Amino acid sequence: MAELQFFTGTMDSGKSTLALQTNHNHATRGRVGRIFTTHDRAGQAVLSSRLGLTHDALEVDSDFDFWRYVVSSLTAGGRIDYLICDEAQFYSPDQIDQLAKIVDELQIDVFAFGILTDFRSFLFPGSARLVELADRMNVLQVEALCWCGKRATHNARTEDGVMVVEGDVVVVGDVADGDDEGSVPRPRPRVSDHPTPEVAYEVLCRQHHRRRLTAARAKAVSLAPEPLPFG
């Protein structure tokens, strides 16, 4: 029986890598699939992993209809055995319903990959609907770590190095990685007279997300002079 499976974890936990591996495993067994993504860090119509792996994909915009696409493809004589759906947190609840219908009515497997919560720690609507409908929900075993060494559970957004908890939910960036030049985040588009801030993301444990204590801020605090021992 076909299934709707949801694979989730924080940023930097290997979701896109697993999506590419899942596609490889099925394709090498002769199955025919389609790969979908949206708002990928590498640009439109590309599924990319931070390990450097990429694959062409179909871009999912707000008007994309999964049911119509699959039915049209099958009617035209195409073959579809499974769907790989990356960045599924950005899909609308209606699009998640379409994926569930494809599984139930057409017996096509759907493998969805995405993060649960945004930088404010609120559930993405697409992820919430996947939690409600998925036959199986799989939490990735590759744990991303907070700067303190604890398991990271929250995704934080920084602008010019300062953690923010307000703003647009969908802003493309990447996880900052120390001095790695390959992880320079994409600037956040903004129409104003002020310079465009540099947007990055960082995974944190709940405690440090709640305290807005990023790695950079923790380092700055640790380098600050000790207070004088006066009353």
Residues 125-169 have pLDDT tens digits of: 999 999 999 999 999 877 788 999 998 889 899 888 889 888 777
Q: Which residues of the chain have pLDDT under 50?
A: 178-192
pLDDT score of 129: 98
Q: Tell me where in the chain the CATH 3.40.50.300 domain(s) lie.
A: 4-139
What pLDDT was estimated at residue 175? 53
pLDDT at 48: 77
Identify each DSSP E strand in 9-139 by its residue range.
33-37, 46-48, 54-56, 58-59, 82-85, 109-114, 136-139
Q: What is the pLDDT of residue 166?
A: 81
Q: Which residues are catalytic?
A: 87
Question: What is the structure's pLDDT at 193?
Answer: 53
User: Under CATH, which number does the domain 4-139 receive?
Assistant: 3.40.50.300
* Helix 93-106, helix 125-133: angle, nearest 10: 30
Instruction: Name residue, tokens 């949206």.
Output: 38
Burial class from Cβ neighbours inside 10 Å (0-12, 13-18, 19+) for residue 26 reads: middle
What is the pTM for the complete model shown? 0.76
- What's residue 138's pLDDT? 93
